Homo-oligomer: A and B are copies of this chain.
């Protein structure tokens, strides 16, 4: 519990520092997002937020999500043929693997791949601002190939 509390506290501080007001709605959303281990969309966040702040409107959720994204608190995800999903911006960058059968989302990271991306961009005269990598996968049948 205190893990996500600390995260929420950190996010709140960042928002406060940037001068934006911490309303009940925003505080609730920050808490929910800090606690979330999944990748909810705006409607789902609205549903969850309504427990803490009955009557919160979906517009507020959308507006808050945009604000949180701008301030680096959350990451907006856009998987194929799906609505926008969100996750908190944690310390370590990671990418996503989506099981096309179950819809399950698995996070992963690969420093080797990131290094290659950087090298590749550099070789073409660019530097990477950010990137997106999604692997649409399926569980391997039987045992891993011998």
Contacts and interface: CB of A to CB of B under 8 A. Distances in A.
A93 interface: no
B131 A135 contact: yes
Interface in A112-146: 112-113, 116-117, 120-122, 124-140, 144-145
Given A121-B135, A128-B137, 15 more contacts: A78-B78, A108-B124, A113-B117, A126-B138, A126-B140, A127-B140, A128-B135, A129-B136, A129-B137, A129-B138, A130-B136, A131-B133, A131-B134, A131-B136, A132-B136
A107 to B, nearest CB: 11
Q: Copy number in this complex?
A: 2
A145 B123 CA distance: 11
B99 A126 contact: yes
Interface in A69-116: 78, 80, 97, 99-100, 106, 108, 110, 112-113, 116
Contacts of A120: 108, 110, 113, 135
Interface residues of A, number: 34
A117 B138 CA distance: 13
A80 B132 contact: yes
Interface of A: 78, 80, 97, 99-100, 106, 108, 110, 112-113, 116-117, 120-122, 124-140, 144-145
Given A131-B135, A133-B131, A97 B124 contact: yes
A133 B136 contact: no
